[in-house]
Amino acid sequence: MQDTSWEKSSNWYKKIVGDDGHYFHQTIIFPKIKQLIDLSKINSVLDLACGQGIFERQIDQNKEYIGIDISRSLIKEASQKSLNRRHQFLVSDVSKDLPLKKNDFDLVIIILALQNIKNINGVIKNASKHLKK
């Protein structure tokens, strides 16, 4: 996989976001997600552009979870910090075909990343393709 701008920025991003998310994650994004989506009814999650996996640590660890990001170092950190060894983290460009067979996730989520991806249509297409009908 090619070197990306996110790979060059990963150390900065890890410092800003930390283990539990940035201020915006903690005070706005995660609380609003929990208001909009009853996570107790979600059994499987596909987290696009997952970074170091902070959303993975927000969900019940019995849920099926796959996080995908283009940055190898962020995926490595996500794997190391994961609370569940059955959760998967993959390095891939979320705007291109994903290396997944599963296409029936209960929730496909992308948090604070869409604005940083050139091919937005590819990301939306992947979300639609892998979301339960």
pLDDT in tens, 11-59: 666 666 666 777 788 888 899 999 999 999 999 999 999 999 999 999 9
H-run or E-run covering 5: helix 5-17
pTM, entire model: 0.88
Contacts of 132 (CB under 8 A, 6+ apart): 104, 105, 106
pLDDT at 24: 82
Element (H, E) at 90: strand 88-91
pLDDT tens digit sequence for 74-133: 999 999 999 898 999 999 999 999 999 999 999 999 998 998 899 999 999 999 999 998
